[in-house]
Structure 1
């Protein structure tokens, strides 16, 4: 009886592991697409101050919320992109810049990404919400905070 229970337990466990691996494999293409968007549009757009490149991965109705040095922060995507356009870019400043993807989670047509952006005297932790629309991933919400302290 113990042997039968042990075999049944092992079969259920192995089946569960196989199912989890299949879920990860199905999401891999989406994770890769989001990674590409973050590296080649988000980080690059911020670093170079290219509001057109950066804006291409934001949904036109995206909102940004958070706090910077303890002060509340809220902007529409248009105001945010205008600020990127009109400031000195990290590239032009010659100061260090580092964008790092910490985590990406995908469920069907929605996803979240936790990232870190170090630039100037700031160390931003961003939480980005994505939605896949017509086969392309767009940032629909950005939450950020300065974790420099």
Structure 2
């Protein structure tokens, strides 16, 4: 009887943790979709929903660059018209209140490859850091 009770308790714990992780995954995907919306429709309000106010964006373009993510992405949205973009969530990893995601935004001639770091802050998942690289497409036909 003790063995059955132990298995029941263990199963309950595992199921609870899996449900919590599934819920976190859905909330992370929602946060990422706010980012995708901001990038594809140039809705600056979506960046504020996706990113923590002090989130950084980092990349290398001849030299290392680091800026406030919301400010830089909002400036990008203000100075460019939206273009057709395909968005992909490549991978999401969750460890407690921390997560990372690999994303791709595909344009006609290049793709942005994003690596996002997220934290669960006051019950909400927010992107706290974005690191990205650009990959050009080969024009071989």
Q: TM-score range by the shorter chain?
A: 0.7 to 0.9
* TM-score of the two chains, using structure 1 as the length reference: 0.73
Report the alpha carbon displacement of residue 67 of structure 1 after superposing the two structures with TM: 2.6
Provide the C-alpha distance between the structure 2 equivalents of 1:126 and 1:85, rounded to a whole number of angstroms: 17
Q: Which runs of 5+ in 1 are unaligned?
A: 1-17
Q: How many residues align?
A: 125
Provide the C-alpha distance between the structure 1 equivalents of 2:40 and 2:109, rounded to a whole number of angstroms: 14
Deviating more after overlay: 100-109 vs 46-55: 46-55
Provide the C-alpha distance between the structure 1 equivalents of 2:123 and 2:35, rounded to a whole number of angstroms: 18
| Contact 2:47/2:74 (<8 A) preserved | no
Q: State the partner residue of 1:4.
A: none
Deviating more after overlay: 106-115 vs 72-81: 72-81
Q: 1:120 to 1:86 in 2, by over 3 A?
A: farther
Is 1:109 equivalent to 2:97 in the alignment?
A: yes
In structure 2, which of residues 73, 76, 94 is the aligned counterpart of residue 84 of structure 1? 76
| Contact 1:50/1:84 (<8 A) preserved | no
Q: 1:99 to 1:71 in 2, by over 3 A?
A: farther
Q: Which runs of 5+ in 2 are unaligned?
A: 1-10
Q: State the partner residue of 1:124.
A: 112
In structure 1, which of residues 69, 74, 78 is the aligned counterpart of residue 66 of structure 2? 74
Q: 1:141 to 1:83 in 2, by over 3 A?
A: same
1:34-75 deviation line (CA, Å, top 9, x unaligned): 112212x1111111111112222111111111135x554321
Larger radius of gyration: 1
Runs of 4+ deviating beyond 6 Å: none
TM-align CA RMSD? 2.3
1:131-146 → structure 2 map (5 Å cutoff): 131-146=119-134
Provide the C-alpha distance between the structure 1 equivalents of 2:44 and 2:31, rounded to a whole number of angstroms: 14
| Contact 2:27/2:125 (<8 A) preserved | yes
Q: State the partner residue of 2:54.
A: 61
Provide the C-alpha distance between the structure 1 equivalents of 2:70 and 2:37, rounded to a whole number of angstroms: 18
